[in-house]
């Protein structure tokens, strides 16, 4: 008996499941902190998020999006930024913390979706890759993709398993999540449609009647459109229906497409890392390591196609749109990355190390601190020059976060510089760009901000009007290098 007892005591004890999951989560959190923490407090990480932050803070002061401050993104995105600033204050750390939490959730959900195909360690690697590649594709701080991509991952987790005993309930919840994601960015619609069709297809395969399928499809549609419908109802009841309709839907079609089209050389180069991942995984699935769950892998492949539709839906496509492709690309790559496959640890270690290498130059703490200090000095000069004026500064081309840092009022409801200087927006604002610029200049702004190199094709009439006023009434105050552009502040002559 003593011998038997000793044998039992010497037997290895199984590690609790929760401990393995906790280690996966810890790896994802650590990766997110390493990749994103250097950006914390950096106010010019991206142009778009500066606008979202400005609009979110305006909402906390009672402004109505599309009426008092304008953009064509859905109100849910501004609500996220408003909530972040209401809790965390006006600094960028507020929305960057929220984006960090969303990113960790996205990494965890990527690992969950990886588990039917690979072991826990490889799944952890997939979650880490998600975090790193989101930063590589422009979502290191507060870009909208940092918020809507995790919602798509949550939808995928809920609908992926048609044999789940609560599959219908989970699919209904997923459609509501999709509706919320639509209020962050409307271009997620192809993914929402794909998830709904996947759930309906499996109901059909399981023998559901046409009446049952029709009722389920109607339920999916109602839940998916519910958040947008509630927002529309609010604007209709408050008398702002036309402003909501134009900003959210009509202006999208009025914006001129870029002359470069949806696909050009720079975009193709940007797609290379994701294409190599997805293509390598598909090759490995066919020739090296057949997926453990073929149906799940087909689901991921269909999702990847829907993500492509999301990225290329707008008339003008930017590289950071490809963040929508990150989770599906990583999951398609799993047959190649699987550490239990023929290549063992090699591919997984190489790809994760490569992703870290791509992120590192983007987030060097010392360089970011130096750039932030330069920008603080530039903003302080603008604030000091405009402190005694009742008029608002005017950022014709440059970082819109200057309005907050200079403690300035907003000179127009079109506070995003791109809306008033970009020729592609000429017919997409509901007002004349030149007329709006003329109205702002008539208010005699104490400081005007311009850039030496435009980001987009310019409305030459609006630009000429600004330069005419600068030549006549302004002198150079300060300048700063941001990226490959020189931003200049011009103060009004006393």
- The per-residue pLDDT for 469 is 98
- The per-residue pLDDT for 367 is 84
pLDDT band at 361 (very low <50, low <70, confident <90, very high): confident
Structure tokens that stand for 281 in this block: 């995984």
How many CA within 13 A on the CB side of residue 490?
A: 26
- CB count within 10 Å of CB 245 equals 15
Q: SS3 breakdown of the chain: % helix, strand, coil, rounded to 5?
A: 65, 5, 30
Torsion angle of alpha carbons 42, 46, 49, 53, nearest 10°? 40
pLDDT band at 11 (very low <50, low <70, confident <90, very high): very low
Q: Which of 48, 23, 45 lies closest to 36, judged by CA?
A: 45
What are residue 333's phi and psi, to 5 degrees? -75, -5
Q: Is 397 exposed, middle or buried (0-12, 13-18, 19+ CB in 10 A)?
A: buried
- The per-residue pLDDT for 183 is 98
- CB count within 10 Å of CB 46 equals 19
For β-strands 447-451 and 485-492, DSSP reports them as: antiparallel
How many CA within 13 A on the CB side of residue 399?
A: 28
Q: What is the mean pLDDT of residues 422-449?
A: 97
Report the C-alpha gap between 190 and 186 in whole angstroms.
9
Do residues 325 and 281 make contact, with C-beta atoms less than 8 angstroms apart? no
For β-strands 447-451 and 394-395, DSSP reports them as: parallel
- How confident is the model over 468-482, as pLDDT tens digits? 999 999 999 999 999
Q: What is the mean pLDDT of residues 322-327?
A: 98
pTM attached to this predicted model: 0.95
Identify the residue with better confidence: 255 or 11. 255
Q: Give yes or no for residue 4 having a pLDDT over 60.
A: no
Do residues 155 and 192 make contact, with C-beta atoms less than 8 angstroms apart? yes
Q: Give yes or no for residue 2 having a pLDDT over 80.
A: no
pLDDT band at 13 (very low <50, low <70, confident <90, very high): low
Report the C-alpha gap between 343 and 363 in whole angstroms.
31
Alpha helices (runs of H) in 246-345, residue ranges in sequence order: 251-254, 265-287, 294-312, 326-332, 334-337
pLDDT band at 265 (very low <50, low <70, confident <90, very high): confident
- The per-residue pLDDT for 3 is 45
pLDDT band at 424 (very low <50, low <70, confident <90, very high): very high
pLDDT band at 365 (very low <50, low <70, confident <90, very high): confident
Q: What is the mean pLDDT of the chain?
A: 94
Those residues whose C-beta lies under 8 Å from the C-beta of residue 153, and which sit 6 or more positions away, are 105, 106, 109, 110, 113, 327
Q: Give yes or no for residue 54 having a pLDDT over 60.
A: yes
Those residues whose C-beta lies under 8 Å from the C-beta of residue 61, and which sit 6 or more positions away, are none
Lowest mean pLDDT among 18-22, 165-169, 421-425: 18-22
User: Domain coordinates of the chain in residue numbers?
Assistant: 17-363, 365-492
Do residues 80 and 184 make contact, with C-beta atoms less than 8 angstroms apart? yes
**DSSP labels for 106-146?**
HHHHHHHHHTTTS-HHHHHHHHHHHHHHHHHTT-SSS-THH
Q: Give yes or no for residue 9 having a pLDDT over 70.
A: no
Q: Which residue has the tokens 């906790």?
A: 22
pLDDT band at 369 (very low <50, low <70, confident <90, very high): confident
């Amino acid at each position: 008996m003593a011998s038997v007892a000793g044998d039992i005591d010497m037997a290895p004890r199984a590690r609790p499941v929760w401990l393995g999951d906790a280690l996966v989560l810890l790896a994802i959190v650590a990766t997110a902190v390493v990749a994103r923490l250097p950006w914390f407090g950096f106010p010019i990480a991206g142009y778009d998020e500066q606008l979202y932050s400005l609009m979110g803070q305006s909402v906390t002061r009672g402004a109505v999006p599309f009426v008092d401050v304008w953009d064509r993104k859905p109100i849910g995105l501004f609500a996220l930024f408003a909530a972040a600033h209401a809790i965390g204050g006006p600094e960028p750390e507020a929305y960057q913390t929220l984006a960090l939490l969303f990113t960790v959730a996205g990494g965890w959900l990527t690992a969950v979706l990886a588990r039917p195909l690979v072991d826990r360690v490889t799944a952890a690697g997939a979650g880490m890759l998600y975090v790193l590649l989101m930063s590589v594709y422009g979502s290191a701080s507060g870009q909208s993709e940092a918020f809507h991509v995790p919602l798509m991952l949550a939808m995928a987790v809920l609908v992926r398993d048609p044999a789940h005993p609560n599959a219908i309930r989970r699919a209904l919840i997923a459609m509501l999540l999709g509706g919320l994601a639509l209020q962050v960015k409307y271009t997620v619609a192809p993914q929402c449609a794909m998830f709904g069709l996947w759930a309906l297809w499996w109901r059909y395969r399981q023998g559901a009647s046409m009446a049952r399928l029709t009722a389920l499809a109607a339920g999916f549609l109602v839940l998916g459109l519910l958040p947008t419908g509630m927002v529309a109802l609010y604007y209709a009841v408050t008398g702002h229906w036309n402003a909501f309709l134009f900003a959210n839907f009509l202006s999208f079609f009025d914006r001129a497409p870029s002359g470069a089209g949806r696909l050009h050389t720079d975009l193709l180069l940007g797609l290379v890392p994701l294409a190599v991942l997805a293509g390598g995984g598909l090759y490995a699935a066919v020739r090296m390591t057949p997926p453990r769950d073929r149906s799940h892998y087909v689901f991921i492949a269909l999702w990847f196609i829907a993500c492509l539709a999301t990225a290329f839906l707008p008339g003008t496509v930017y590289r950071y749109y490809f963040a929508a492709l990150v989770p599906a690309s990583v999951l398609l790559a799993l047959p190649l990355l699987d550490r239990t496959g023929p290549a063992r640890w090699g591919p997984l270690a190489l790809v994760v190390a490569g992703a870290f290498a791509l992120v590192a130059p983007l987030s060097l703490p010392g360089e970011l601190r130096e750039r932030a200090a330069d920008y603080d000095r530039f903003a302080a000069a603008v604030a000091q020059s405009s402190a005694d004026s009742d008029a608002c500064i005017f950022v014709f081309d440059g970082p819109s976060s200057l309005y907050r840092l200079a403690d300035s009022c907003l000179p127009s409801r079109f506070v995003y510089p791109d809306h008033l200087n970009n020729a592609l927006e000429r017919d997409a604002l509901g007002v004349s760009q030149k007329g709006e610029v003329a109205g702002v200049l008539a208010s005699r702004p104490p400081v005007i901000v311009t850039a030496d190199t435009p980001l987009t094709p310019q409305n030459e009439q609006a630009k000429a009007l600004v330069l005419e006023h600068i030549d006549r009434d302004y002198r150079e105050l300060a300048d700063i290098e941001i990226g490959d552009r020189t931003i200049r502040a011009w103060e009004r002559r006393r």
